[in-house]
């Protein structure tokens, strides 16, 4: 009999990835299909579930050319967490999927309040699923009335593959509707959002059977088993072998997080620290989450007019070598482009630069962005430790792990050994494939297997005085990041960057001082000029 192959699918925000993996853990083939996000209104973030399915079909078509595709015996699923997929009685999608970084439900999160946080593992936050349903009830009542079931994003792929409405414990924990300690739906929170338990999907563990392939035309046998799977972070943990209490890792992708594996539910809701179910039974994880990670680097690359991120990174390394302390007056960056979770729990926080000067270069901005994300992770690390979780040496996974400069900078900031792994960009796919094997009674030996270490980075003690001084300055800038409604801050990330950079580039224009630093009415009149000049201004720094 030919050896079985597991198909691992990871539905990310910006890309759907898929791999074929054999029972020894070897990746035989992999592919990816890019995805886009719709932002119809400020603070909104949506995708069409049908686009996920089309991306899945494209990925399967690409993998089908490999001989191992005919040996696929199981499928494991991983995906972005906290999204809301709304289904009617006929499994028709009723509304665009509301994603994890959508902030429309701020008021609804506050309305739900902290009363159930010790049970659900987290404070209500606008990015989690439950507040979004309360928003829909209040703003889209006809859609809300038609809801038959709410799924997480990767579970929509399961629905299309098998016709089953099933989720797993780890993804369910991210909805705020789960009793994370007892791993079952928590009816009081479900009802608090106007729903009933019957509108929740069936729950299984990540390595349990959760359907079989029924979709036609995929080149897959109806005997192919689909595992429960899990959310992207816990499944990535399975991929890299972080499955035991004390294991920890950092994800640096579109978002960022510090994750510590525990043998019990252990959160700190007051510091916006999550305690969620792992993708394996009898395991949990404590997480400090940032809403913007490596996406900040993509943002500044685009604004500075660099052709790609590597070009900007090369300039950073040339002008600000990682082995030398940076000047104290190097610009600082607040990484709150999409708000923040840990420890601030404020989706309306906004980011930007500070301490810009006439001599500022794109490399300085690039450094400031990487350092700012690092300082945000330091905030998250301290919050995670406040929950009693132990965090030692950390694996670094995600797209940001490709930068040796960033890895060393994180080691310096977090004062911990950081190590990167070969193939870590596929960690969620690999974890999903492992769960697929568990669903057919194989692959238990793969769980303890990690990934080969690519490089190790140790803290440079000589950097500490400067980094600590800069971190104190970073902390002092939080007030400026508060939303305008608080009377203390600015309305969005581009506003701060636009105001400062436009002033730098257009300092010869007399009306800058007359308008940009004048009252709110004049700032409103000048804002369109500021924003339209931003890209030109940044490029002029080069």
Which residues are annotated as catalytic?
Answer: 232
End-to-end Cα distance, the chain:
62
Report the sign of the C-alpha dihedral through residues 201, 44, 296, 272, in that order. Answer: negative
Q: For residue 155, how far is the Cα from the chain centroid?
A: 17
Helix (H, G, I), strand (E, B) or coil at 462: helix
Residue partners of 490: CB distance under 8 A and separation at least 6: 350, 352, 480, 481, 484, 496, 499
526 burial via Cβ count (<10 Å: 0-12, 13-18, 19+): buried
Helices (H) and strands (E) in the chain, counts: 18, 24
Helix (H, G, I), strand (E, B) or coil at 79: strand
Q: For residue 195, give Cα distances in angstroms to 146, 156, 358, 436.
A: 11, 19, 56, 31
**DSSP result, 275-326:** EEE-SSTT-EEEEEEES-STHHHHHHHHHTT-SSHHHHHHHHHHHS-TTSPP
CA distance 458 to 325: 16
Torsion angle, CA of 469/472/477/482, rounded to 10 degrees?
160
Tokens of 376: 């945000």
436: enclosing H helix or E strand? helix 427-439
Helix (H, G, I), strand (E, B) or coil at 60: helix
CA distance 258 to 280: 19
Q: For residue 248, give Cα distances in angstroms to 161, 324, 482.
A: 33, 28, 31
| Other Cβ atoms within 10 Å of 275 Cβ, number | 25
């Amino acid at each position: 009999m030919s050896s079985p192959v597991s198909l691992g699918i990871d539905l990310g925000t910006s890309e759907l990835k898929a791999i074929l993996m054999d029972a020894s853990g070897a990746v035989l083939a992999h592919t990816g299909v890019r995805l886009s996000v719709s932002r119809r209104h400020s603070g909104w973030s949506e995708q069409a579930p049908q686009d996920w399915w089309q991306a899945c079909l494209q990925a399967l078509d690409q993998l089908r050319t490999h001989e191992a595709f005919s040996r696929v015996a199981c499928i494991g699923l991983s995906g972005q967490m906290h999204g809301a997929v709304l289904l009617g009685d006929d499994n028709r999608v009723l509304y665009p999927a509301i994603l994890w970084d959508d902030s429309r439900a701020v008021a609804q999160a506050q309305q739900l309040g902290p009363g159930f946080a010790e049970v659900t593992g987290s404070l209500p936050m606008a990015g989690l699923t439950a507040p979004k349903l309360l928003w829909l009830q209040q703003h889209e009542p006809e859609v809300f009335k038609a809801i038959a079931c709410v799924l997480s994003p990767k579970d929509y792929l399961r629905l299309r593959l098998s016709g089953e409405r099933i989720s797993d414990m780890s993804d369910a924990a991210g909805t705020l509707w789960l009793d994370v300690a007892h791993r079952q739906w928590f009816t009081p929170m479900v009802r608090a959002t106007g729903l009933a338990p019957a509108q929740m999907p069936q729950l299984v563990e990540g390595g349990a059977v959760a359907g079989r392939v029924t979709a036609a035309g995929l080149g897959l046998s109806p005997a192919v088993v689909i595992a429960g799977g899990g959310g992207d972070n816990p499944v990535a943990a399975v991929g890299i072998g972080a499955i035991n209490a004390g294991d920890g890792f950092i994800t640096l992708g579109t978002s960022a997080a510090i994750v510590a594996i525990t043998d019990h539910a252990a959160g700190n809701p007051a510091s916006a620290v999550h305690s969620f179910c792992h993708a394996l039974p009898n395991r949990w994880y404590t997480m400090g989450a940032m809403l913007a990670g490596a996406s900040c680097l993509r943002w500044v690359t685009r604004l500075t007019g660099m052709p790609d991120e590597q070009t900007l990174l090369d300039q950073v390394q040339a002008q600000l070598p990682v082995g030398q302390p940076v000047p104290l007056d190097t610009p600082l960056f607040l990484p709150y482009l999409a708000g923040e979770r840990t420890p601030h729990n404020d989706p309306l926080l906004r980011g930007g630069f500070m301490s810009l000067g006439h001599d500022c270069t794109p490399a300085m901005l690039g450094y400031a962005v990487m350092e700012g994300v690092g300082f945000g992770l330091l905030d998250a690390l301290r919050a995670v430790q406040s929950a009693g979780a132990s965090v030692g040496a950390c694996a670094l996974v995600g797209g940001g792990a490709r930068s040796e400069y960033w890895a060393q900078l994180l080691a310096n900031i977090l004062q911990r050994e950081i190590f990167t792994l070969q193939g870590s960009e596929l960690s969620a796919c690999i974890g999903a494939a492992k769960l697929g094997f568990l669903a057919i009674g194989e692959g238990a030996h793969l769980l303890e297997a990690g990934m080969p270490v690519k490089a190790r980075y140790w803290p440079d003690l000589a950097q500490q005085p400067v980094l600590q001084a800069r971190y104190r300055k970073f902390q002092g800038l939080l007030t400026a990041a508060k939303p305008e409604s608080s009377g203390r801050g600015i309305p969005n990330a581009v506003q701060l960057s636009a105001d400062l950079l436009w002033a730098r580039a257009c300092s010869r224009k007399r009306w800058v001082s007359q308008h940009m630093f004048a009252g709110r009415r004049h700032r409103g009149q000048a804002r369109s000029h500021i924003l339209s000049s931003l890209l030109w201004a940044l490029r002029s720094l080069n």
